Structure 1
Amino acid sequence: MKSYIAKPQEVERKWYVVDVAEKPLGRAASQVASILRGKHKPTYTPHVDTGDYVIILNADKVVLTGKKLEQKMLRHHSLYPGGLKEMSYKDAIARKPEFVFQEAVRRMLPTGPLGRQMLKKLKVYKGTEHDHDAQKPEVLELRY
């Protein structure tokens, strides 16, 4: 019996829309990362992008449990001495909620060209409006 290996040109992609209002950031991001990878399909192949497109709505209304909103920091470094920049997740969600959700998902995807290709299928929006009605996205409820 031979194993099935998906070919990139044979992959059929769907569009899903997910409302993450009042949902924990990490739990929502891990399920979205799994859909972007294609692990929910029987044709999943680790070295081929078999995932679907995901549209995230209400990224500004995502919640963090415990004291993470004040204590957890979003950090990056400019690679110069003393170039560490950090801000709390409370400020980051207020300023750029799309980036916060996208960064959470990016860190759950594989590194390298395949992970970057998967991340391009993620569309994150602050409110309830999106520009992808022509793709006829299906509403997807996340499990907990």
Structure 2
Amino acid sequence: MSAYKRVQAIIIIIIIITTTITITITITIIIKQWATFARVWHIYDATWQNPFDSAKKICKVLMGVNKPVYHPLVDCGDQVVVINSRDIALPGDEWKKRVYFHHTGYHGGATWTLAWELHEKDPTMVMWKAVYHHMKGNLKRRHTMQRLHIYPDSNVPKEIMENISNQIRQPRRVPIRLDTYSEEDVQQYPKVADWPKDYILR
């Protein structure tokens, strides 16, 4: 084999390798772009969570603030499914003190509803209002809120559950009741102090 043909073969191999690398990089960039602009479905468990702290996290995902391509004029937010909204927890005595105002637009059409009354009527409404009021009031808010799906319990339609691919972390750890611990967990828990030998348990 002559030196000219060897050089020609090496050049062809280099061209093939660089073309393959370029195609691979291009496909990777395209997939990243698809993943960035795709509408991802997220799930959020509202059990024992403050709806106003939860609203901060949910709004970021609904508006797409967590994405690198975010712009206020670009509609790039994701879908959010909130479950167990019946089990939300308001801090202190907010259930008795927080009041929701509504006006029909007619004379004498003003109503004031306490948070616990509204929650009894519709277990999803307190969470919905928390997210709605946390979002900036512009013309896109109504369309953005259509991507929020709230369910009072964990019964979510199958066609929605099939789409979910991510979970939003809860801002607060859910406390565990003492009667839910197994006997083995209780025995393994480290003892800080023990009863004196002459102490009588009654």
What amino acid is aligned across from residue 92 of structure 2 in structure 1? G
- TM-score (normalizing by structure 1): 0.86
**What is the CA distance between 1:109 and its match in structure 2?**
1.9
2:43–2:164: 8 Å Cα contact kept in structure 1? Answer: no
Q: Which has the larger radius of gyration?
A: 2
2:78 matched to 1:52?
yes
1:109 to 131, 135, 142: 135
2:51–2:127: 8 Å Cα contact kept in structure 1? Answer: yes
1:1-144 alignment runs, 5 A limit:
11-131=37-157, 132-143=160-171
Taking the aligned partners of 2:115 and 2:165, their CA distance within structure 1 comes to: 30
**What is the CA distance between 1:50 and its match in structure 2?**
1.2
- TM-score (normalizing by structure 2): 0.63
3-state SS of 1:137 partner: strand
Taking the aligned partners of 2:104 and 2:46, their CA distance within structure 1 comes to: 31
Identity of aligned residues (%): 22
Moved over 6 A (4+): none
Question: Which stretch has the larger CA shift, 134-143 or 62-71?
Answer: 134-143
Taking the aligned partners of 1:123 and 1:137, their CA distance within structure 2 comes to: 15
What amino acid is aligned across from residue 133 of structure 1 in structure 2? M
Taking the aligned partners of 1:57 and 1:35, their CA distance within structure 2 comes to: 16
Taking the aligned partners of 2:93 and 2:171, their CA distance within structure 1 comes to: 23
3-state SS of 1:16 partner: strand
Taking the aligned partners of 2:51 and 2:136, their CA distance within structure 1 comes to: 19
**What is the CA distance between 1:137 and its match in structure 2?**
3.4
Report Cα offsets for 1:21-65 as digits up to 9, x if no partner.
101110001210111011111111111111111000011111111
Number of residue pairs matched? 135
**Larger helix share, 1 or 2:** 2
What amino acid is aligned across from residue 86 of structure 1 in structure 2? W
The answer for unaligned runs of 5 or more in structure 1 is 1-9
